[in-house]
C-alpha cells in the first residue's frame, strides 16, 4: 500500500491536474458514473466530523474528516482528514492519503473550476476572504491556473503576512468586496462575510465555508443579487449549508437558476452572472482527486510503500 504524505499530494496534484480532476468528478457525478451516498455527519465536542464514501470504475474511496475551529488558536490544522483508496474490483487497499492536503486542493480546484465556468480564466481582481490553510491553496491554484491581474486578501488575522508572501494586497473587507470581480470565501465564520450591498454589479463568488445549517458566509442580499446559484451537490447544500437553507426557506432562490456544477459541465450550459458557487464538498471530488494523486505518485515515484503483515 502506498502512503502519500501532504508533500506528496501537493507535488502530485498540479493546479492543472487538480482542476481536471474536479471537472471529471462533477461531470461523473452528474452523469451517474460516480455513486456516493449521503455522508455521515456527527457533532463531537461541538466540532463537525464527517465520513464520506464513493465508488467509480477506478476507485472506492472513504474519507474521515473533521473541522476543529479552535485549532487555529492552538497552532494546529483546522481541517484534518485521512483518505483510504481501494481497488473497486478486488477490494485491495491501494493507498492511505493525507486528507488535509487532498481536501484543500480538491476544494480549491472546485472554486477555480467554478470561476472558469462562470467568469472565464482571465480575472481582473480576485478577492480572498480568509488566510488559513484552505485560503492558501485557493490562491496557489488560482494564481497558477487563472490569469489574475490583482489579488486582494482580508481576514481576521494573518492576511497581512500572507499578502506580503504572495505579492498581494492586504485590505479591509468592504474594500475587497467593492473592488473584486471574483471572490473566494474560505472561512470558519458563522456570520456572513460576503455582503451583497458592497458587491459589484457583475461578480462571481465561490463560498466553501458555512457547511452547517446554522452558519453563513453569504448574506441574503448577496444571494438575492445572484442570477445563477451554482452548487456542488443540491442534496448536500439543501441538507447542510445555511447559505442555501436560509435563503431557500425565505423564498430568495425562487425564480433564480439553481443548478449543480456537474450539470453545467455535462450539458454545456451558460452561466448568467452575477453568480454564486456554493460548495460543501462531495465524495466524488475525493474519489477522483485521490485516484489522480495515486496514479501520478506511482508514475513519479512519490510516497512510501508499506505492506501489511
pLDDT tens string 72-103: 889 888 889 999 999 999 999 999 999 999 99
86 and 61 Cβ atoms separated by less than 8 Å: yes
Q: Is the pLDDT of residue 204 over 70?
A: yes
pLDDT of residue 226: 96
Name the DSSP letter for residue 191.
Answer: S
**pLDDT score of 177:** 98
Q: Name the DSSP letter for residue 270.
A: P
Between helix 99-118 and helix 133-145 the angle, nearest 10°, is 50
State which CATH number among 1.10.40.50, 3.40.190.80, 3.40.50.720, 1.10.4000.10 fits the domain covering 114-281: 3.40.50.720
Residue recorded with cell 458592497: 198
- Joined together, the cell numbers standing for residue 188 give 470558519
Alpha carbon 223 to chain centroid, angstroms? 19
Distance CA 153, CA 212 (A): 24
Q: Where are the alpha helices (DSSP H) in 146-250?
A: 159-166, 173-179, 220-225, 234-240, 242-249
Q: Strand order in 228-231's β-sheet?
A: 169-170, 147-154, 122-129, 182-185, 204-207, 275-278, 228-231, 257-260
Three-class SS state of 228: strand
Handedness of CA 270, 238, 97, 188 (dihedral sign): positive
Q: Which residue has the cell 473497486?
A: 88
Could you report the per-residue pLDDT of 289-304, keeping only the tens digit for each? 999 999 999 999 999 9
Q: Inform me whether the pLDDT recorded for 235 exceeds 90.
A: yes
The boundaries of every CATH 3.40.50.720 domain in the chain are: 114-281
259: helix, strand or coil: strand
3-state secondary structure 71-93: HHHHCCCCEEEEEEEECCCCCCE
CATH class held by domain 2-103+284-305: alpha beta
Query: Could you tell me the sign of the dihedral formed by the alpha carbons of 99, 104, 105, 110, in that order?
Result: positive
- Taking residue 151's Cβ as centre, other Cβ atoms within 10 Å add up to 19
Domain with CATH 3.30.1780.10 in the chain: 2-103+284-305
- Note the pLDDT of residue 58: 97
Check whether the bond before 274 is cis (ω within 30° of 0): yes
> DSSP assignment, residue 196?
G
Q: 12 near 296, Cβ under 8 Å?
A: yes
Ranges 54-63, 75-84, 265-274: which has the least confidence: 75-84
Judge whether residue 274 has pLDDT over 90.
yes
**Mean pLDDT over each residue of the chain, to the nearest integer:** 95
Tell me which residue of 12, 11, 23, 18 sits closest to 268, measured CA to CA. Answer: 23
Label residue 281 left, alpha or beta by phi (over 0 means left) and psi (-120 to 50 means alpha).
Answer: left
Amino acid at each position: 500500500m502506498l502512503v502519500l504524505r501532504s508533500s506528496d499530494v501537493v507535488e502530485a496534484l498540479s493546479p492543472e491536474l487538480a482542476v481536471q480532476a474536479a471537472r471529471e468528478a462533477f461531470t461523473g457525478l452528474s452523469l451517474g458514473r460516480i455513486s456516493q451516498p449521503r455522508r455521515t455527519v456527527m457533532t463531537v465536542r461541538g466540532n463537525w466530523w464527517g465520513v464520506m464514501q464513493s465508488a467509480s470504475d477506478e476507485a472506492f474511496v472513504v474519507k474521515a474528516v473533521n473541522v476543529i475551529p479552535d485549532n487555529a488558536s492552538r497552532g494546529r490544522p483546522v481541517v484534518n482528514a485521512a483518505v483510504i483508496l481501494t481497488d473497486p474490483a478486488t477490494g485491495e487497499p491501494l493507498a492511505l492519503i493525507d486528507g488535509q492536503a487532498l481536501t484543500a486542493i480538491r476544494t480549491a480546484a472546485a472554486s477555480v473550476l467554478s470561476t472558469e465556468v462562470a467568469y472565464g480564466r482571465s480575472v481582473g481582481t480576485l478577492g480572498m476572504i480568509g488566510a488559513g490553510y484552505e485560503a492558501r491553496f485557493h490562491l496557489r491554484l488560482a494564481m497558477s491556473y487563472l490569469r489574475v491581474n490583482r489579488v486582494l486578501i482580508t481576514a481576521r488575522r494573518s492576511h497581512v503576512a500572507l499578502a506580503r508572501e504572495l505579492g498581494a494586497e492586504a485590505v479591509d473587507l468592504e474594500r475587497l468586496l467593492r473592488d473584486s470581480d471574483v471572490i473566494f470565501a474560505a472561512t470558519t465564520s458563522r456570520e456572513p462575510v460576503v455582503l451583497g450591498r458592497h458587491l459589484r454589479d457583475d461578480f462571481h463568488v465561490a463560498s466553501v465555508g458555512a457547511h452547517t445549517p446554522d452558519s453563513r458566509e453569504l448574506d441574503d442580499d448577496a444571494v438575492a443579487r445572484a442570477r445563477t446559484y451554482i452548487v456542488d451537490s443540491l442534496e448536500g447544500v439543501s441538507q447542510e449549508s445555511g447559505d442555501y437553507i436560509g435563503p431557500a426557506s425565505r423564498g430568495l432562490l425562487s425564480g433564480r437558476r439553481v443548478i449543480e456544477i456537474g450539470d453545467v459541465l455535462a450539458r454545456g450550459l451558460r452561466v448568467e452572472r452575477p453568480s454564486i458557487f456554493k460548495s460543501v464538498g462531495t465524495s466524488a471530488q475525493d474519489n477522483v482527486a485521490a485516484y489522480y494523486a495515486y496514479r501520478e505518485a506511482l508514475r513519479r515515484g512519490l510516497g512510501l510503500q508499506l505492506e501489511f503483515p
